[in-house]
Amino acid sequence: ECEELAWGDSEANARVKYEAALIVRIATRFGAASVWIKIAEARTRGAEIPLDPKRVYLLAHPDKCDMAEAADATAILNAQRPPEMTESRASASASGGVGSKAAVGARIAAARAGSQVRKIDPEDGKASTFEELVIKYDGTYSKEEVKEYWDFECKPVAEDKPESADTVSAPASQSEAAGEMAGAAAEAEETEQKIDPEDGQLCTLEEIRRDRK
């Protein structure tokens, strides 16, 4: 939750660094009792938070961090003596960097895309998003139960496939082809020579018409 909020803070305000916002969010969320433990955990998840507590203070300080909660966060950080943070960056790499700004941003983008997906609820045959389904069954099932129902019972809404350009143009193409064939046949008939039984001479249909006018 803190990671997502911090990502939003940094996206909304270019002067706010993701790591600074994350420190502020952790401090105001967990308080003095566990703020430094949570900051250490954030580092292991991939956040670029410095090991030096003084640099952590500076990141969250109101003079450096343009957030309304920065002053409260600094006070919380000062309320407890920070432990020695010795975790290595290797641990962050091993965790896949899931707490880095890029990873959090990708996670949020995927969640937003998924929130637009609609499925059919087999109970009533109506289409809804996951969040709409959670609201629908609020008080009856937990969010975890609704998630399992969404994943395994609800079916994706069938999308109407648009007609392809080939399908749309097929009738017109066939009509044009038939017209061209008819025109070619008529032209061939006009130029074909046959023997006129009247005089035994070779002539075309056009010549016969002209002679008999």
The per-residue pLDDT for range 57-87, each reduced to its tens digit, is: 999 999 999 999 999 999 999 998 887 765 5
3-state secondary structure of 173: helix
> How confident is the model over 128-152, as pLDDT tens digits?
888 888 888 988 998 889 888 988 8
Question: Considering the entire predicted model, what is its pTM?
Answer: 0.53
Region of poorest pLDDT, from 47-51, 72-76, 179-183: 179-183
- For residue 24, is pLDDT > 60? yes
User: What is the distance between the alpha carbons of residues 96 and 84, in angstroms, rounded to a whole number?
Assistant: 24
Amino acid 19: pLDDT? 95
User: What is the distance between the alpha carbons of residues 103 and 186, in angstroms, rounded to a whole number?
Assistant: 70
Q: Between the CA of residue 148 and those of 130, 133, 145, 151, 181, what are the distances in Å?
A: 11, 12, 5, 5, 61
3-state secondary structure of 156: strand
For 189, other C-beta atoms within 10 Å of its C-beta total 11
Amino acid 121: pLDDT? 94
By the 8 A CB rule, do 7 and 56 touch?
no
